[in-house]
Amino acid sequence: MQTVHVQGRAWERLAVALLLCAFFGICAAVAVTALQAAPSPLALLPLAIALGLSPMLARHLPRELDGLLRAHPVLSLLWLALAALTVARIAGVALFMADPLQPQLSAIWYDPFYVNHSCFSSYWKASELASAGAANIYDGAHYAGNEGRFKLDEYLYPPPFLILPQLAASLGAGFVAMRAAWFAVDAALVMAIMLAVCAWIGGAAGRRAALLLPAAWLALPTLITMQTGNFQLAAIALAMLAMLLFQRGRDEAGGAVMALALFKIFPGVLCAYLLFCKRWRALAWSIAFSLLYAALAYAMLGAQPFRDFVGYEMPRIASGEVWSWMQLEGLEAVVAINYSVPALVLKLKLFGVDGLEYRHLAAVALLWSVVVVALAWLAARRASACSRLELAAVWLGLLGLAAVRSPFVPDDYALFPALWLWCLLAAGQVRAAAHRFLRSAAFAVLWLAFAIVMPIGLVQPQHLPLLLAVSTASQLLALAFWLWPVLRRPAAQGSANTTASASPAAA
């Protein structure tokens, strides 16, 4: 009888394992489909294998999950419904990635802009241009056309980033196939790192954070950014993975991962954090691998992309010319959904504040850079007193604050670090705390504020005031939310879960 009772309590772990295996199995199925000349039943084999492995995975999940259905039946059933819906939504987007002729499966199927938008198109086109030895891969004239249904985006990244699409192109498949494969790798990588962060946090807080992850994946910013293929989510996840490796004393591996994240530039805020923590080896390995990737890109692509970047693109970035299109009449809706701190200048102008011009963006960007570096210094000073949950929250807060330093950060990928941070901070709430209902309600409202992406393809001029008000309120909430873990004093000082940032052995 005792054996039957124990086996019965394992159903919770099996359910979690099935959903996890379904998620990664869907990613694998999309990757297999992308690498085939045509869809076939073989693509379902990875999903079937993944689901078949779920009982094995269930045995390795925390035993604390056992009995949750009996102890908390309503919450358990709600979680199962949320997680199942998340997997279903991921499956729908995955099908759209495998077949762009199924727009009804898009994350926002009713918005023509997102249905026909692909950030990956810029990576793909720039990689093709660089391989062909084209003059100036940063010239916007190269990106005037389309890749199938998708309008080409302009390429704005440093040359070393092209290593990644070059590796994708080496598989010999076309744009549609590589768009799907990019999605599969991106989604699996980000989810795996999010789970790794929860495992590193450990304890009840780590388990709660892991169980809250479906809320981050069901939200539109995560789904849309995965669909469009922007590297932003992967950069944030890779930066977090690098910090975990540094905490474990694996500075060489952490440096290799951090250098990949630095393709997006803004994760450099964590390099400033490492500097202030006096983590010299971690910082040195990050710099060393950044130079190595640059040398590899130089060997693969030659000198021309580097000359184009230094001589053409960097002056345009410094002067703000790259973002000058935000001044154009008719693009007010795009300005409204811009979560960049410098772009608040343009938002205030739309609100009717006089005396503000586009030229003020550079001054605000410089000021915000100073603020973010100062916050990194403050976080480094307090790091030794932080619990693992608090450290992870601080890193995410710094990444979110640094990411919005760019003049243009649309709501879809701007809000992902807020959603991930929401999972950590919600998990850290003491269940027996006073005003528990009010705290839960506040976190529910915050999730709603971060989970919505405005359908700008449907915005009419009369909708602009409402769009501007809603997006600005959400932006300010996100800024406050990222500042919260960075500015608050560590609450877990002296606890068993405390780990000194300056001492990898403690992790």
Residues of the chain with pLDDT under 70: 1-9, 37-40, 430-435, 492-507
Cα angle 477, 222, 421; round to 5: 45
Q: What is the CA radius of gyration of the chain?
A: 23
Q: What is the pLDDT of residue 433?
A: 54
Helix (H, G, I), strand (E, B) or coil at 186: helix
Q: Could you tell me the sign of the dihedral formed by the alpha carbons of 164, 170, 174, 176, in that order? A: negative
Q: What is the pLDDT of residue 7?
A: 43
Q: How far apart are CA 499 and CA 493, in angstroms?
A: 9
Strand partners, 387: 498
Helix (H, G, I), strand (E, B) or coil at 146: strand
Q: How far apart are CA 299 and CA 71, in angstroms?
A: 60
Determine how β-strand 150-151 pairs with β-strand 146-147. Answer: antiparallel
Q: What share of the chain is helix, strand, coil (3-state, %, to 5)?
A: 75, 0, 25
Cα angle 95, 452, 317; round to 5: 90
Q: 41-47: long-range contacts (C-beta < 8 A, 24 or more apart)?
A: 43/98, 47/22
Q: What is the pLDDT of residue 434?
A: 56
Q: How far apart are CA 338 and CA 415, in angstroms?
A: 11
Question: What is this structure's pTM?
Answer: 0.93
CB-based burial, 157-171: b 16+ in 10 Å, e otherwise: bbbbbbbbbbebbee
Read off φ and ψ for residue 387, nearest 5 degrees: -75, 170
Three-class DSSP labels, 488-501: CCCCCCCCCCECCC
How big is the chain, counted in residues?
Answer: 507
Q: What is the pLDDT of residue 1?
A: 33
Q: What is the pLDDT of residue 9?
A: 52
Tokens 């699996």, residue? 188
Contact 497, 371 (CB under 8 A): no
Structure tokens at 153: 């985006």
Contact 139, 155 (CB under 8 A): no
Question: Minimal CA–CA distance to 215: which of 331, 85, 104?
Answer: 85
Q: How far apart are CA 182 and CA 179, in angstroms?
A: 5
Question: Minimal CA–CA distance to 96: which of 237, 232, 223?
Answer: 223
Structure tokens at 36: 């085939």
pLDDT digits (tens, 9 = 90+) for 158-197: 999 999 999 887 777 789 999 999 999 999 999 999 999 9
Greatest C-alpha distance within the chain: 78
Read off φ and ψ for residue 435, nearest 5 degrees: 55, 40
Read off φ and ψ for residue 219, nearest 5 degrees: -70, 145
Q: What is the pLDDT of residue 499?
A: 46
Name the residue type at position 257.
V
Q: How far apart are CA 106 and CA 498, in angstroms?
A: 43
pLDDT digits (tens, 9 = 90+) for 379-412: 999 999 999 999 999 999 999 999 999 999 999 9
Q: How far apart are CA 135 and CA 291, in angstroms?
A: 24
Q: What is the pLDDT of residue 498?
A: 42
State the angle between helix axes of 2-9 and 11-35 in degrees (0 to 180), rounded to the nearest 10: 40
Instruction: Tell me how far CA of residue 128 lies from CA of 122, 132, 155, 174, 239, in angstroms.
Output: 10, 6, 12, 11, 27
Q: What is the pLDDT of residue 342?
A: 93
CB count in 10 Å sphere of residue 184: 25
Read off φ and ψ for residue 277, nearest 5 degrees: -80, -5
Q: 311-315: long-range contacts (C-beta < 8 A, 24 or more apart)?
A: 312/136, 312/138, 312/139, 313/138, 313/156
Contact 210, 195 (CB under 8 A): yes
